[in-house]
Chain A
């Protein structure tokens, strides 16, 4: 019996191979998308689960509530870890980690690199399962002069991995200065896997950091504290203990804070499982990520990805469903005969499900291979580093089987249900019981087109917004500006580095201007009793000129005026609005305590400019002229025609002045566009999805049109004999589909408008909804339909009608 099914199935496939081709192509494309989405999700969910301790491994998070505004961040200060460990017996072990976005210049006798540093407690290897290649994990991080390197780092410096006992210099690093001797490599660790939130090139003992940076403040939260709890521990109990300990220990510091700021933050702690961190990184806002955790993501990307690929697969399934039903005339007789000779509905249902499984399986094989081939492209698109092997891991194979079953049912169940329900009387005696124009078939086609059109509109809106962002007047000119970061070398060093650059580059015409700035992030400002957050950027007298910013009123800093450096400040217009100052020049306000207790006097006002991404609104900005630099950023304006020469001049000067540091540079406009990387990926993905869905729609249309032409061959012949023209025939066949597309358009437009408006509102600066995208997509959809259906019907109409009539 099964044999006959197989035989009939195969022969039917062969006879209708054009439809089989459409189905397999479409399903293979859809399945490829779903496969890639599941690879993506599997990878997203696999983050940090390789740690042996992961079921009991938690990060301590800090919730701070100030003046009713609460914020939870994935970090603590230096004191919490040791204090909790000492007093909470449920903690089996703990480690602090500080790093992630901390880079330092590390050198040997002949090489220097800028590398990712992570400062960790000696228990690091107890807590996490990063594997040591050589060295003793228990002792490698004891003592303040040791360092553990990754294999990659070892190879970079020494071209080999047996490097225990070798030394590394960090001349510029304040801790290394205190240490006064080079660091000795005590261990080599495997490179952190790509699905680890904790990434590093070098591990330093926490004591090493503490040589230059010790902090006992309970109110701080900037580094990561990870604890391993004893199995079976009750989390709320532990958290309660944390809060009790903190309450007692931080009492004095809180009181001092209240005295200074006239407000009392409420601080409480919580635990976050390490495997939850990747999708909820709780980065510390407005600061560099120094709590050790990077690569953070959001579940929305997984959801979006799965949804879009699911839709694409569904569209392909719709093709399958519609073609199966429209083609059922051919199968109906078989079904009738089967029933008459004693086949039950269940048998026939299973037969059709089986055929759908067969098609799905073929498509799946293609999809699997395509996914493998596309993996590098996909990695580039998604920013991941997924290896081909990972497709074959058991979890993925289970996923694959589930997808296959799901797809078989998705595309096979409805036709099988419908066809197995046909009664023999109907199919053997009546004609026209089922055609491609069933209501459900039409609904499905409309749905399919609505999806494609929605995606099309989304893609266009996306492009428009991205174009807007990249071409918006930022309020300054980032062109030809090279940015070089100078690491934290102690307060006065940066200024002397700057003068060094000035004299080195004096005779180089390619480098036209130089400016030194320092970024201090959001801090408080006080005008009278009005307090608000402002962005602090220390600048020099060249900054405004170099970036071609316009002063709205007042003047620029001058080196001639001694008071500018001490008391002068330039602010932006948003600051004036927030401070409610009407006559700004000469007005004073109190800056953040970091910039002294004395008031600053406004000497100039610049127009608002986008110092951050366009997703963020322009906030008040304070630009003092200050010597207060930790590290700093040097900006060089280069000659348009000679950028590369300028960069090599800068590099040359850099190596003269800072022999211990690694030279890295960025063009400011590149840096700006990097802020939209996520959006650019999304844009590519949506364009791609649009392309695919249009392709699938056209395939489906092609199939349906082909079928209806075959079924209406006689009709076409008669019409032609009666004197219809080719164009009349084309219109006759296209009309039906065009009508469906019109309905799809009516559904898609509001949907796309709603979704894309929502997306646009995420940008503080965005275009108004581009209405032209709606008719544009409509016209494109109709055009595509006309081409797909028209060409075929024209061909049918051009054939000799006698052939069509005789064959009946």
Chain B
């Protein structure tokens, strides 16, 4: 499903370049739950951004669903975001002006889902995450763990093929972390969603079925 070949990422620095990623070869099959680990500054987040089509690699080839994404137009890329990719962020990044319900609904609006289907889909998720009572609250009225639950719900509401999660539990205490990670595991096993997460925690990595380690931009 995901195939990286000799992917590098560098930034111009003075007269030379600073490499963040070097010659990464990585294959991720559908249904995998991959954890990217490594010390700070090893390029984990950059790799995740490249995988999530938020950044472009400087060199190498990236096939997403067998399609080379370097050549995609903005429109095509947007289509991939709309239909196949979900994101979960460390800082949740919910839209402050929207209620829980509306935040979860947003991706469906972009996907162009009809209103009744939207309603039932959001209701289903609210039910599943035990958040029905909170649907009309605004993000700042929720705890961190609840906000991240909304973040996850938003990431999966449009039935993406893959979820990219960037330290999804980084801002949460351990109980909340466990709740989120168990949710990920369930999504992976029951809903067959491919998950790629960046994490510092071995415990969290243990929920997945494969670990990719990075050091100074190289695959370790």
Which residue of the partner chain B has the closest CB to A427? B93
Cβ–Cβ contact B110 & A343, under 8 A: yes
CA distance A715 to B111 in the complex (A): 41
CB atoms of A8 and B95 under 8 A apart = yes
A8 & B97 in contact (Cβ 8 Å cutoff): yes
A1 to B109, CA, bound (A): 6
Query: A341's contact among B49, B55, B82, B97, by CB below 8 Å, is which?
Result: B82
**Contact of A385 with B by CB under 8 A:** no
Q: How far is the CA of A690 from the CA of B141 in the complex (A)?
A: 46
Assess A7 versus B102: contact at CB under 8 Å? Given A1-B109, A341-B107, A428-B89. Answer: yes
- Of A7, A339, A344, A429, the residue contacting B98 (CB under 8 A) is A7
A333 and B97 CA atoms in complex are apart in Å by: 11
Interface centre among B78, B82, B83, B97 (most CB of A within 10 A): B97
Bound Cα distance A425, B46 (Å): 10
Contact of B184 with A by CB under 8 A: no
**A342 to chain B: closest residue by CB:** B82
User: Is A479 on the interface with B (CB-CB < 8 A)?
Assistant: no
CB proximity of A238 to chain B, nearest CB, Å: 63
In the complex, chain A residues 8-66 whose Cβ is within 8 Å of any chain B Cβ = 8, 11-12, 15
CB of B97 within 8 A of CB of A429, answer no
Given known A-B contacts A8-B97, A337-B95, A345 and B74 have beta carbons under 8 A apart:
yes
State in angstroms the CA–CA spacing of A37 and B47 once bound together: 58
A334 B97 Cβ-Cβ under 8 A: yes
In the assembled complex, how far is the CB of residue A302 from the closest CB belonging to chain B, in whole angstroms? 44
Contact A342 B93 (CB under 8 A): no
- The answer to whether B111 and A342 touch across the interface, beta carbons within 8 angstroms, is yes
Q: Which chain A residues lie closer than 8 Å to B91 at the CB level? A: 428
B107 to chain A: which residues have CB within 8 Å?
A: 341-342
A340 within 8 A of B: yes
Tell me how many residues of B have a C-beta within 8 Å of chain A.
29
- CB A684 to nearest CB in B, in angstroms, measures 45
Cβ-closest chain A residue relative to B157 = A341
Pick the residue among A4, A337, A339, A425 that contacts B109 (CB under 8 A): A4
Interface status of B81 (Cβ within 8 A of chain A): yes
B42 at the interface (CB under 8 A from A): no
A333 to B109, CA, bound (A): 18
B109 touching A428 by the CB < 8 A rule? no
A428 touching B81 in the complex, CB below 8 Å, given contacts A341-B106, A345-B74: no
A428 touches B95 (CB 8 A): no
Residues of B within 8 A of A344 (CB): 74-75, 78
State which residues 78-98 of B face A: CB under 8 Å: 78-79, 81-83, 87, 89, 91, 93-98
Query: Within the complex, what minimum Cβ distance (angstroms) separates A87 from chain B?
Result: 74
- CB atoms of A340 and B54 under 8 A apart: yes
Interface 1/0 per residue, B96-120 and A, CB below 8 Å: 1110001001110111000000000
Chain A residue contacts of B49, Cβ below 8 A: 425
Q: How many residues of A contact B (CB 8 A)?
A: 25
The CA of A425 and the CA of B48, in the complex, are separated in Å by 11
Q: Is B177 an interface residue (CB 8 A)?
A: no
A interface secondary structure, majority: helix
Binary B-proximity of A414-446 (CB < 8 A = 1, otherwise 0): 000000000111001100000000000000000
8 Å CB contacts to B: which residues of A216-240?
none
- Determine if A336 is an interface residue (Cβ-Cβ < 8 Å): yes
Q: Measured between alpha carbons, how far is A330 from B78 in the docked complex, in Å?
A: 23
Least distance between A429 CB and chain B CB atoms (Å): 7
A748 CB to closest chain B CB (Å) equals: 40
Interface string of B179-205 (1 = CB under 8 A from A): 000000000000000000000000000
Partner of B93, one of A7, A333, A343, A345: A333
If A341-B81, A341-B110, A425-B55 touch, whether A11 touches B93 (CB-CB below 8 Å) is: no
Distance in angstroms between the alpha carbons of A343 and B45 in the assembled complex? 22
Alpha-carbon distance A12/B54, docked complex (angstroms): 26
Picked from A1, A334, A337, A343, the residue with its CB within 8 Å of the CB of B78 is A343
Beta-carbon nearest neighbor of A344 in chain B: B78
Cβ contacts under 8 Å, B111 to chain A: 342
Residues of B within 8 A of A334 (CB): 95-97
Nearest residue in A to B87 (C-beta to C-beta)? A340
In the complex, chain B residues whose CB is within 8 Å of the CB of A340: 52, 54, 81, 87
Among B74, B79, B95, chain A packs the most CB atoms within 10 A around the CB of B95
Is the beta-carbon distance between A11 and B81 smaller than 8 angstroms? no
Which B55-85 residues sit within 8 Å CB-CB of chain A? Answer: 55, 74-75, 78-79, 81-83
Q: How far is the CB of B108 from chain A (nearest CB, A)?
A: 9
Interface residues of A in 390-425 (CB under 8 A from B): 423-425
Is there contact, CB below 8 Å, between A428 and B93? Answer: yes
> Please, which residue of chain A has its CB at the minimum distance from the CB of B49?
A425
Complexed CA–CA distance, A4 and B54 (Å): 24
Least distance between A644 CB and chain B CB atoms (Å): 69
> CB within 8 Å of A: which of B137-189?
154
Residues of A within 8 A of B82 (CB): 341-342
What's the Cα separation between A339 and B89 when bound, in Å?
A: 14
Q: Bound complex: CA of A428 vs CA of B166, how far in Å? A: 11
Is the Cβ of A4 less than 8 Å from the Cβ of B106? yes
Q: Please name the residue on chain A nearest to B151 by beta carbon.
A: A337
Nearest chain A CB to B113 CB, angstrom units: 11
Give Cα A423–Cα B111 distance, bound, in whole angstroms.
20
A334 to B109 alpha-carbon distance, docked (Å): 15
Shortest beta-carbon distance, A424 to chain B, in Å? 5
Given A342-B81, A343-B110, A429-B45, the answer on whether A8 and B98 have CB atoms closer than 8 Å is yes
* B contact residues around A345 at 8 Å (CB): 74
Contact present for B54 and A342 (CB under 8 Å): no
Which residues of A are found within 8 Å of B110, using beta-carbon distances? 1, 338, 341-343
Q: What is the bound-complex CA distance between A604 and B154, given in angstroms? A: 101
Q: Which residues of B contact A7 (CB under 8 A)?
A: 97-98, 102
Give the distance in Å from the alpha carbon of A336 to the alpha carbon of B93 in the complex.
Answer: 9
| Cβ A333 vs Cβ B95 within 8 A | yes
A1: nearest chain-B partner, CB-CB: B109
Closest 4 CB pairs of A and B: A342-B82, A342-B81, A11-B97, A342-B110
- Could you pull out 12 A-B pairs where Cβ atoms are within 8 angstroms? A1-B109, A7-B102, A337-B94, A341-B81, A341-B87, A342-B82, A342-B110, A344-B78, A423-B54, A425-B55, A428-B91, A429-B45
* Known A12-B97, A344-B75; 16 more pairs at CB < 8 Å: A4-B105, A7-B102, A11-B97, A11-B98, A15-B96, A333-B93, A334-B97, A337-B94, A338-B110, A340-B54, A340-B81, A340-B87, A344-B74, A345-B74, A425-B54, A428-B93
